[in-house]
Amino acid sequence: MLEHGGRLRLAAAQWGIPLADWLDLSTGINPQGWPVPALPADCWRRLPEDNDGLEDAAATFYGNANLLPLAGSQAAIQCLPTLLPRAAVVMPAPLYAEHPHAWERAGHKVRRLPGANLSRALTAMAPNVLLCNPNNPTGRAYTRDELLAAAAQLKKRGGTLIVDEAFADADPENCVAPFAGTKEAPNLIVLRSIGKFFGLAGARVGFILARRELLMQMVEVLGPWAVSGPSRLVAQGALSDRDWQAAARKRLAADSERLRALLAPLVAPSAEVQATPLFCWLPTQDAQALHDFLAARGILVRLFAESTGTPGIRVGLPGNESEWQRLAEALGAWPQTSSHAPVIPAKAGIQN
């Protein structure tokens, strides 16, 4: 089982800090998610039905009806490699670790290209290319034109472009979901999730957008009722709430810039903080020490150690002003510990 952000109970046990005293910035999930209303009692008693309006709401939101609701985009990540012919797949690295894990487990040959741009990935001449846009964890973003050109190039060699847009909803200008499985890009596959931008990770709802034949194959593999009735209802409401979406995008953009400015003094002169609307990437050789320093103060961030090839930390957005102040105070104390001696876990309460 791979490690992920959000493992708060494990951190609480490791650092001896009560669960309620933590500030969890490890996931990149919108801390002010879509406000879920009270759900009708009937949705808990009935089996989910496909014609309840979710597919229509998603088709409108993504601009493409070639889609299938799933129990989170993770379901597509695990299933998709088993449906495509075994071949080489290039992945600019680092990226969300579940992708290479799933493709290797399905028998494909995965080629990781550290720090690679899309052009280099295409020159590797593998039939398939998989990437995240924006990338998780580094925040590297590709333009729509770049991605559509890449899909066209891969199509000429009988290949496929897979784009994970899990973090794309907050800034959809360069999304390619509207083109997946269409005449313009029949070999384009896009994964989406309502967990990050909408702050609904617990609902476990995602989508795969692709050509119809592939979607039908996935239906056969996953079987009926892939998404629960209550989750379908919540997802439909969130995807249809245009006013909330517009306000959230504006707020996230401002908060992202605030976080970038807060982290900027911590990077070396030759590096920079990469900001996305939902998280910031701070590349640093001191990733482990900084992670532990914050954890000792009850602040959990996502660590990417030397073994990933690009050491750094990914930091999500605080949810309110007191959380912003808490993070700022902790980061303000960091330069005073430039020796980076091992951090001793707290045994009770939060260290100030």
Q: Which residue has the tokens 């009806």?
A: 65
Q: How far apart are CA 56 and CA 47, in angstroms?
A: 19
Q: Which residues touch 219 (CB under 8 Å, ≥6 apart)?
A: 68
pLDDT score for 339: 44
| pLDDT one-digit tens code per residue, 181-225 | 999 999 999 999 999 999 999 999 999 999 999 999 999 999 999
* Cis preceding-peptide flag for 134 (omega within 30 of 0): yes
User: Counting every residue, how long is the chain?
Assistant: 352
pLDDT of residue 116: 67
Asked whether the predicted pLDDT for residue 88 surpasses 60, the reply is yes
Q: H-type helices in 181-241, by residue range?
A: 212-222, 229-240
> Could you tell me the sign of the dihedral formed by the alpha carbons of 81, 83, 87, 92, in that order?
negative
**Could you say which of 3.30.1490.20, 3.90.226.10, 2.60.120.10, 3.90.1150.10 is the CATH number of the domain covering 8-33+246-337?**
3.90.1150.10
Q: Where are the domains of the chain?
A: 8-33+246-337, 42-240
Determine contact, residues 37/31, Cβ cutoff 8 Å.
no
What tens digit of pLDDT does each residue of 237-282 get?
999 999 999 999 999 999 999 999 999 999 888 889 999 999 999 9
State the chain's maximal CA–CA distance in angstroms: 61
Alpha helix (H) ranges present in the chain? Answer: 8-15, 42-45, 54-62, 73-83, 98-105, 118-123, 144-156, 212-222, 229-240, 242-263, 287-295, 321-333
Check if CATH label 3.40.640.10 holds for domain 42-240: yes
- Going by C-alpha positions, the residue among 219, 228, 96, 245 that lies closest to residue 162 is 96
Average pLDDT over residues 66-75: 96
CA 316-18-345 angle, to 5 degrees, is: 80
Instruction: Return the exposure string of 320-342: e unless at least 16 CB atoms fall within 10 Å of the residue's CB, then b.
Output: eeebbebbeebbeebeeeeeeee
Which tens digit of pLDDT belongs to each residue from 310-350? 789 999 999 999 999 999 999 999 974 444 444 444 333 33
Under DSSP, is residue 102 helix (H, G, I), strand (E, B) or coil? helix
Closest CA to 68 of 185, 242, 217: 217
Measured in whole angstroms, the distance separating CA 31 from the mean position of its chain's CA atoms is: 14
Judge whether 8-33+246-337 and 42-240 match in fold: no
Q: What is the pLDDT of residue 120?
A: 86
Q: Does residue 342 have a cis bond before it (omega within 30 degrees)?
A: no
